[in-house]
Amino acid sequence: MLAMNYRGPYRVRAEHKPDPVIEHPGDAIVRVTRACICGSDLHLYHGLVPDTRVGHTFGHEFIGVVEEVGSGVQKLKVGDKVLVPFNVFCGSCFYCQHELFGNCHNTNAQATAVGGIYGYSHTAGGYDGGQAEYVRVPMADVGPMVIPEDIHDDDALMMTDCLPTGYQAAEMGDIKEGDTVVVFGAGPVGIFAAKSAWLMGAGRVIVVDHVEYRLEFVQRYAQCEVVNFKEVGDMALHIKKMTDWMGADVCIDAVGCEAAGNTMQTITGVYTMMQAGAATVLHWCINSVRKGGNVSIVGVYGPTFNAVPIGNALNKGLTLRMNQASVRRHLPRLIEHIRAGRIDPKAIITHRVPLEEVADAYHIFSSKLDNCIKTVLIPPRANEVRAVKASVNGSNGAGAH
């Protein structure tokens, strides 16, 4: 099959590799019909995530059609069109039993610091991802969701990660009616966090970034205020001025370890890797939020350490909340929002690129060329109607689609 293939920092290509196979009775093989490049894929692409092996296929945002199921799969059927949450999770461990599907303890042998994630290095479990024609999906009865007929494929695709992550970012901010919410980062997650902040009753939503076209987009899409941090001096001071010297009630980090805005942070966090990424936005969040306020972090950082002003967080009595999104539990409510017309996830898609051109797609997204916000990769067999492979137990392979 054709798949994205990581060759080193800033180097990827489309290359043929063996098809995935059923490795566990609970597995399914999904033919990918659409896959996204996520902002967090760029941390892998830039070589910042430890244990990112050459030959790895990225991709944790994808939808597709079930091609084959293992002998233990009871619910999912061959031919089902599914969206696959980015979390690989078992549904039975202590964390899954508490709906913390992003913290599953049964799917990542190589680290306790993170759950299993498709195509996100061996630190996140060593699963090849969905920027490919086919992908192995463990625990097929638990993770994937059959896409409702009235939900557009592109909307379903956005529900695999960036929409629920943005929503959870706002949710972790514990937004109360009338709150001022500052979202750092106008990428897909930041855009959806801003949109979700309104759903939760915010009184004011401010998005901060330095990429003009993204600020223009989010201002229009999420009806929010925007600030270009390159046009202001001190970011925290600017937020204080904007909020009658109080600070924001809630600050959301939707950027993570590759934040621009502070040269020293960039040198120590990105260029020399003396810390696990630039902690610029963590500083901004802690110093911009009001006393007793909430900081919500969904931006991704590496596993080593970051220098953050934790003393300020203590003295201000802040609540810091953070996690990988527990995608599955957010899907029903997000579908209601889409059906009600409150949110239009597919509107953020700007680029559709054949999988064969994955190197160019990564470069466009990484370098923010051509006003890129969200890139969708289309595998060559995305629209193919194929004869269904025989399932492992033969019982689920009947209905060809």
Partner 1 sequence: METRNPDIKDVVTGNDHHDGQHAPGEHDGQGHVAHVHGAIAPRRPTREQLQHIQGWGADLDRKNRPGVPMERTPPRFINAPDGDPSPQPQSTEVLVSTERPGRTPLFGSAQPPSGLSGMIRRSAFKRSENDVRHWLLLLLADRVNVVEGIGEDLARGHIPNVLGEMGIKAELKHNPAGLAKKALIAGAVIGAAVYLMKRRGHDDDDHYHHLRQRHERYR
The interface with partner 1 within residues 153-212 (CB under 8 A) comprises: 168, 171-172, 177-178, 180, 195-196, 198-201, 203-204, 206
Question: Does the protein bind partner 1 through residue 244 (CB under 8 A)?
Answer: yes
Vertex 149: Cα angle to 148 and 150 (nearest 5): 95
d(CA 243, CA 289): 10
C-beta of 149 vs 231, nearer to partner 1 = 231
Question: Does the protein bind partner 1 through residue 227 (CB under 8 A)?
Answer: yes
65 CB-near residues (< 8 Å, 6+ apart): 30, 31, 33, 79, 80, 81, 82, 401
Nearest to 30 by CA among 399, 395, 388, 393: 388
Question: Does the protein bind partner 1 through residue 310 (CB under 8 A)?
Answer: no
Segment contacting partner 1 by CB under 8 A, of 153-161, 280-288, 333-341, 384-392: 333-341
Segment contacting partner 1 by CB under 8 A, of 60-68, 306-314, 362-370, 387-395: 362-370
Q: What is the dihedral of CA 198, 203, 209, 211, to 10 degrees?
A: 60
C-beta of 150 vs 177, nearer to partner 1 = 177
**Residue whose token pair is 């610091």:** 113
**Residue whose token pair is 């970034």:** 209
Question: Does the protein bind partner 1 through residue 393 (CB under 8 A)?
Answer: no
Segment contacting partner 1 by CB under 8 A, of 28-36, 49-57, 261-269, 381-389: 49-57
Sort strands 87-88 and 116-117 into parallel, antiparallel or unpaired: antiparallel
- Taking CB under 8 A as the criterion, the residue among 33, 40, 57, 296 binding partner 1 is 57
d(CA 382, CA 398): 21
- Taking CB under 8 A as the criterion, the residue among 59, 64, 125, 269 binding partner 1 is 125
C-beta of 153 vs 174, nearer to partner 1 = 174
C-beta of 203 vs 309, nearer to partner 1 = 203
Q: Shortest distance, CB of residue 83 to partner 1, whole angstroms? A: 13
156 CB-near residues (< 8 Å, 6+ apart): 63, 83, 147
Residue type, 219: Q
Q: Shortest distance, CB of residue 283 to partner 1, whole angstroms? A: 20
Question: Does the protein bind partner 1 through residue 242 (CB under 8 A)?
Answer: yes
d(CA 247, CA 290): 4
Q: What distance separates the 2 farthest-apart alpha carbons in the chain?
A: 67
Question: Does the protein bind partner 1 through residue 9 (CB under 8 A)?
Answer: yes
C-beta of 11 vs 386, nearer to partner 1 = 11
